[in-house]
Structure 1
Amino acid sequence: MTPAAPASAADALAQILQDLLPSVLLAAASVRALHSRWRALQASLLALQSSLVSAPASAPSHPLFADLVAALLPALRSLHALSVRCQDPGLPGGRLRLQSDLDMVASSLSLLLHDLSLLLRSGLLSVDSELSIPTDIVLQVPASAAPHADKSLFVRDAFARLQIGSLDLKLKALVSLLDLLGDDPTAEAAQIVATEGDVAALLRLLDASSHSALRDRAVTAVAHLATACAASRRVVFDEGGLGPLLRVLDSGSPPATRERSAAAIVAITGDAGSAWALSAYGGLPILINACRPGSGSPALQAFAVAAIKNVSSVDDVRSTLVEESGLPVLVDLLASGTAETQKSAALCLWALASMGDHKTQNQIVQAGALSPLLQALHIASDQDLHDSVLRAIHALTSAPAATRILCSSPLFFARLTDLICSSGSFLLQQMAADMIADLAPTVSDDTKRCMAPCIGTLIKLMEVAKPATIQESAGRALLALFTLKSNRKGFVRDEKSLTIFVRMLDPRFQETDKKYPLSIFLVLAMGGGNGTRRRLVDAGSCQHLQKLADADVPGAKKALQRISNNRLKSLFSIGWQN
């Protein structure tokens, strides 16, 4: 006769411990048919008995424990019925059918034992009944100002339900977890989830075999953890989160889900200690495909290229980027992407060009990168984009093919002049000055003449102490521009700039290294004509040069000799004429 269904979880637990488990354990030890399978089952049954006995007295009041006990009853009854069949010498239904039925029950029992062990480890069953009994389907989400203990209990409960409950219960647990993470201005909730929750279980929900609704919400939760703070992001990475996130990005998931996955990948690869793992997971081809036209939304492309930018300093990534035809993709993003996408694409090209060899630089030029780079430089108003684009162009100037294209573009040099004159960024000004210094000697006199408006700003930059190399960059650019006589004459007529320049020769003015002021002075004195030299003398340069020569500053004696000789020649010429 079949026993009546128990009225409560406590009654069911008593029936399992006092009736079903002892009889099934006895049968497992004595049955002869399928002996090895029953011995394995005996170990699981003993573990089940131990777990149930160790459960707190209040455990039957917890809904998850009650559900597990309710599921154990039919499994153990089926196992008891199978033991009776195995003890029948005739093996009713046949040996193969009996073996199959036994394996199915054993599998079900194994899953239930796993869930019970997980619930016991969570500590939820040990919660003091006077403080909080989690009897709701899902606990109420704690307010942002709630105590840490309340949030910790909620997180452990949510993860237990996430792994044990039905699909509906898992979805509700995920939604409540997202509510907690969403109301998290200080990232405290993310840290609690990372330390108190089972992030590995959350990542398993990203698998393609998971229900799509579960997977989409799980991606959102993982993205919250990856972007909230360094501690929770590190846990996601340490638990192997980069691989599942890349698979979601490469799947046919909804656009919003792929975007959140890509945002998490950007955050993880932004940590220098994690960037190397992208190649290990084979992620670069996935990111390149996500950047291709038509592969996703502009937001997805922006995230994907930002992740590539994060890892572009890794040697393997740079070589793979070229091998996987990533250069044309980056060029397309430069030509048609948003400002943020263009910035990341330009920085990728900068990394490739600056850290690669001449072959890589030529490949970038051959892919047509210079045209969209120059276009972005001309029309963009965002200073960060200017910085990124100029970095890429600057890194390409050592390639002969790039030099030929740039030197044939007067508009490019006009833009460099504008950036020097109007940019508030020393970094932009320095890069522009470097390119003028490197390229101006090979451009036409008309182009040099058009760059004359930036001479005054370059003179001022020679007074700037930081960054350390900006004085050298400005000095080199001035030397390149002063190869044109009209630029030299125009400079000495600008009293303000000339006064600043001569002040740099003063030994008391220690903010400026004297190397480049002396080099520029020699160029002016040797090739500027009597009018130029006279203005240099009238501005008071001779006394400064004399002091520098007395101090044996390299180049000072030669400059003094040049200006003095020309001054004497000028005086003799005037006297002879008189």
Structure 2
Amino acid sequence: MRSTTDPPPLPPPSPAVTLENITQLLNQLLPAALSITCFASRWQVLRSKLAAVKSLLSEISDSPHWSENLLLVNLLPDLLSTLRRTETLCHHCCDASFSRGKLLMQSDLDMAAGWLSKQINDLELLLRSGVLHQSTAIVLSRPEASSSKEEIAFFVKDLFTRLQIGGLEFKRKALESLIQLLSEDDKSAVLVAKEGNLGCLVSLLDLNAHDSVRELAVLAVSLLVSAGDLPRKCVFEEGVLGPLLRILESGPMPMKEKAAMAVEFITADPDNAWAISAYGGVHILIELCKSGSLTAQSHAAGAIRNVSTVEDIRVALAEEGAVPVLMQLLVSGSPSAQEKSANCISILASSSECFRSLLLKENGLQKLLHLFHECSNSDTFEHILRAIYSLSASDTSYRMLSGSTTFIVQIAELVKHGNVMIQHISASLLANLAISDGNKRAIAGCMGYLVKLMESVKPDGMQEIGAKALLSLLSVKSNRKEFVRDEKSLMRLVKMLDPKNEVVSKKFPVAVVAAVMAGGSQGCRKKLVAAGAYSHVQRLAELEVAGAKKALQRLSANRLTSILTRTWRD
């Protein structure tokens, strides 16, 4: 504790004074080092580094605002301290009576060379960044919204210069400013990717970095990779996936959440997804799904969903036991985790019989059906329905779904009221399942909606699926009669038959006409002919459209029968 009688401490010398002291010391050291004969090779290295320092300082002093830069203000005293240690070593090596051990002196000289190398690197970095030419370089606040691209680019360079040269507090403030910039302006991420040293940012994720800096760096990386393809690509190419996965494995939970978010965004790019297996990431992600926080689980499930599109990684997912973990998340996870797990399960179920078997072993179909009846989230619901459709390829599931009146009625309702994708999947199930005649009669009310689906250009395959589902329902006689009583559906069908209508493939409405006439119903024929179907089918037969001749034959045969009947009666 300082006595009250002690004089107050002297203020630190100004940067100009420190630079002058360094220059004087260099002017003494450089010629003195030439006269040293012992440890010649080491002093030759030191002389080259001292000369490099002198050249860099000369260039720095020519910069108009060098004395205002806080990084340089901190660097110069450290450099002066290194030069004074080097001066002491110079005196010792010139003093023949000095008895210090040879190995110890060699070590001291090597350390001095190492210090100078680092300080030379920092000085070069400052010069290359251009921040010494700007009087605002000491300001770490975000540029105004009206700032030019050049001003923001300079701001980014200054931030990354501080990340590389500055101490702990400099790094923290630089990262906070970088996070603020990325949070408020997504477009700035491209400039950060182009102008910033992303390798330096990635290095701050290392386990040896200070926790406060590491946590900020993880957040900055997650914001950067979420901002677009270019930033994501640039960060990935700097090898960020390995450090992020190490954080997922052993970091504190708040840091794991941010790292998991970054991994999810990185793996959203198929070109990056393959790299997960190279770092043993499949096991890490599955473990995080088991024991992470709700947020971490959601991002981990999202990353697994992303990589599940890669065949080699699907093998690892099966071997690491991903299916039961995903099913557990689907049943009891957060809404976000449920949605991503359902998506992943639908991908896996559609990929191979192996995964369908694994899902069925976990009572996957029963759990999916339960959620199918209970789920209120439209995105999750769509993935669940898609997974059910994929599982229907299994014989056991096929029989169970085909025999479930509740399920059949509900998917018929989805054909009426679901969004386009849900309508497509529901119609696919109606087209492919072996539905009983009784159930077909129960859902006859969806036939008009299936006709509408036959007119849909998007998504691909909708017209065919709509037609197949309708043909399945028209196998029942009462449904055929009900269909022709629906004037709107009948007119839609005739419009699709018109050869001038190029939106719809003609083979689908032609097949529907043939199906309606399969029982030879006179009433159905009259309705079709009255609506104008005959002339269109006749023209399509002339154009050799698939199935048109058969449909025309059925219409014509019934027409001939009608003519003969009227003639006999007359």
TM-score range, shorter chain: 0.7 to 0.9
Q: Map Cα deviations across residues 365-397 of structure 1 (whole Å, 9 max, x no partner).
A: 334432333333323333333332333333333
- 1:267 pairs with 2:245: no
Cα deviation, residue 359, structure 1 = 2.8
Cα deviation, residue 214, structure 1 = 0.7
Give the structure 2 partner of residue 95 of structure 1: 102
What is the aligned counterpart of 2:404 among 404, 409, 415? 409
What is the aligned counterpart of 1:386 among 369, 381, 386? 381
Secondary structure of 1:202 counterpart: helix
- 1:172 pairs with 2:167: no
Structure 1 gap segments, 5+ residues each: none
Give the structure 2 partner of residue 9 of structure 1: 15
Q: In the aligned structure 2, how far is the partner of 1:333 from the partner of 1:112?
A: 52
- 1:317 pairs with 2:322: no
TM-score (norm. length: structure 1) = 0.86
Q: In the aligned structure 2, how far is the partner of 1:516 from the partner of 1:176?
A: 61
Q: In the aligned structure 2, how far is the partner of 1:304 from the partner of 1:250?
A: 12
1:359–1:64 CA distance, 2 compared to 1 (3 A): closer
Q: In the aligned structure 1, how far is the partner of 2:567 from the partner of 2:199?
A: 95
Q: In the aligned structure 2, how far is the partner of 1:265 from the partner of 1:350?
A: 21
| Bigger mean CA offset, 45-54 vs 267-276 | 267-276
Contact residue 489 and residue 528 of structure 1 kept, 8 A: no
| Bigger mean CA offset, 222-231 vs 493-502 | 493-502
- 1:85 pairs with 2:92: yes
- 1:288 pairs with 2:286: yes
Cα deviation, residue 458, structure 1 = 1.0
- 1:236 pairs with 2:235: yes
Contact residue 206 and residue 218 of structure 1 kept, 8 A: yes
1:106–1:400 CA distance, 2 compared to 1 (3 A): same
Indicate the percent of aligned positions where both proteins have the same amino acid: 42
Cα deviation, residue 79, structure 1 = 1.9
Secondary structure of 2:207 counterpart: coil
Q: In the aligned structure 1, how far is the partner of 2:114 from the partner of 2:346?
A: 56
- 1:330 pairs with 2:336: no
Q: Map Cα deviations across residues 113-133 of structure 1 (whole Å, 9 max, x no partner).
A: 222222222222233xxxx25
- 1:303 pairs with 2:289: no
Cα deviation, residue 90, structure 1 = 5.8
| Bigger mean CA offset, 523-532 vs 77-86 | 523-532
Q: Map Cα deviations across residues 428-476 of structure 1 (whole Å, 9 max, x no partner).
A: 222221221111xx33333333322211211232233444522211111
Q: Map Cα deviations across residues 505-561 of structure 1 (whole Å, 9 max, x no partner).
A: 455555443323333333333336565556556655545544444555443443343
User: Aligned residue pairs: how many?
Assistant: 559
Secondary structure of 1:250 counterpart: helix
1:495–1:66 CA distance, 2 compared to 1 (3 A): closer
Contact residue 482 and residue 488 of structure 1 kept, 8 A: yes
CA RMSD between the two structures:
3.2
What is the aligned counterpart of 2:469 among 477, 481, 493? 477
Give the structure 2 partner of residue 377 of structure 1: 372
Cα deviation, residue 208, structure 1 = 0.9
Q: In the aligned structure 2, how far is the partner of 1:510 from the partner of 1:71?
A: 79
Q: In the aligned structure 2, how far is the partner of 1:447 from the partner of 1:416?
A: 12
Q: In the aligned structure 2, how far is the partner of 1:542 from the partner of 1:61?
A: 90
Contact residue 55 and residue 120 of structure 1 kept, 8 A: yes
What is the aligned counterpart of 1:436 among 421, 430, 433? 430
Structure 2 gap segments, 5+ residues each: 1-9
Give the structure 1 partner of residue 4 of structure 2: none
Contact residue 517 and residue 555 of structure 2 kept, 8 A: yes
Cα deviation, residue 205, structure 1 = 1.0
1:443–1:123 CA distance, 2 compared to 1 (3 A): same
| Bigger mean CA offset, 446-455 vs 495-504 | 495-504
Contact residue 298 and residue 336 of structure 2 kept, 8 A: yes
Cα deviation, residue 215, structure 1 = 0.9
Q: In the aligned structure 1, how far is the partner of 2:495 from the partner of 2:177?
A: 69
